A and B are shown apart, each in its own frame.
Chain A
Amino acid sequence: MGDKRKMFIFGGIIGLIGAILMKFGNPGNMGICIACFWRDIAGALGLHRAAVVQYIRPEIIGIIFGSFIISYLTGDFKVRGGSSPLIRFVLGFFLMIGALVFLGCPLRMLLRIGNGDLNAIVGLLGYVFGIFIGVQFLKKGYSLGRSIEQSKIVGFVFPVLAVVLLIFLVARPAFILFSEEGPGSMAAPILLSLVLGAVVGILLQRSRICTAGGFRDAILIKDYHFLWGLIGILVFNLVGNLVLNFSTFKIGFEGQPVAHTNHLWNFLGMTLVGLCSVLLGGCPIRQTILASQGDGDAGVTVLGLIAGAAFSHNFGLASSGAGSTPNGQIAVIIGLVTVLIIAYSVVVGAKNKSKAKEVVNNG
């Protein structure tokens, strides 16, 4: 099978799963959303108190198991860390704030487009713009530095977290919060979500599809390999929705589920997501996959995502169907400025370092 076709089909299956999970009960155009689902988990753990978005999403547990097991079997499981963890935490934090102003991670953005939500096309333009800015830093020598081998136990943190979350989900202890209304209360059956999540984890681990990587490589090195995966997600999701979710399929800006029509903030929210994703070397779903295959730096990034989600709801930054909030708009601006300063500082630091090296080499 040709590489491009393989990407298209792998992405396609993920797009179909998005349509299936929505059919079986997940919120509108939210078959899978890594940002929303980590946010729901943060809520279930009581890290934020937005009562409508609290649930331990089995898809996330499945994705972690899928990526962990398949990477273990294929030899991709490698325990590494130590590449600017704190910067990664901050980038993950602001990435989540941008995603929750837009209302979705880049994967959900594609799934929203696949069900006719034109606001997500505005988000896509912002996302690509953010990636374009990030690529400029990469060209100037942006790097978060080398990771090194870590103790093997580091690689088991996320799989163990997934087991603990699964226990909480099934046992439902009193200290875990579950939404009784709103998006957090809408969910496909646990077993279906778990299994399809695992399939997504396996497909993404094997294919290395990344929603940021697809556009980044197209811009940076004119390589369209991963972009085919994204096209697969979009096309199959569209077809899946037309077959499975025809009653909710609607092309337009107004009245889309868990979405708003503030174009500027849809655009800028996703600009922040695109920029952070490129600077991190991968989008939220890719970070989750990597965190599950031993990458401790990606693990710290995911913790940043969770912290960002908690703050988003505690500080009223997250948008709702009614629109973005003033606090959220300010947070996106602060995020963009902060992340640009970080990227600029890293580039300047890298330049000074290579100059110092030259001096040493020239003796």
Chain B
Amino acid sequence: MANIVDARGRSCPEPVIMTKNAIDNNLTDLEVLVDTNVAVENITRFVKGKGFKVTVEENDGEYKLKINK
């Protein structure tokens, strides 16, 4: 099962830090939940820089980022 990071409602830069902490703890196959475009962009840029693949699903103003190697 994917590891879920719920960063909804968190202001910048917390979603990125939460994602970073999950990656630093060697969690792969992540699902990160956020609710702003800025968080989607920042996390995407960060994990792509780390060599991960990202897909984004939008649902009613919330976003699910699926992150894996």
Contacts and interface: CB of A to CB of B under 8 A. Distances in A.
Whether A and B are associated in the same complex: the answer reads yes
Interface in B3-61: 8-14, 16-17, 20, 35-38, 41, 45-46, 49, 61
Nearest to A74: B37
B17 to A, nearest CB: 6
A213 B17 contact: no
Contacts, number: 49
Given A78-B35, A146-B8, A208-B41, A220 B13 contact: yes
Contacts of B49: 223
Contacts of A320: none
A217 B10 contact: no
A138 B11 contact: no
Given A83-B9, A221-B16, A78 B61 contact: yes
Interface residues of B, number: 19
Contact of B37 (A3, A76, A148, A216): A76
Q: Which range holds the interface residue count of chain A?
A: 20 to 34
Nearest to A88: B11
Contacts of B35: 78
Contacts of A145: 9
A361 to B, nearest CB: 14
Contact of B36 (A78, A144, A148, A221): A78
Given A78-B36, A208-B38, A138 B17 contact: yes
Interface in A1-50: 3
A139 B17 CA distance: 8
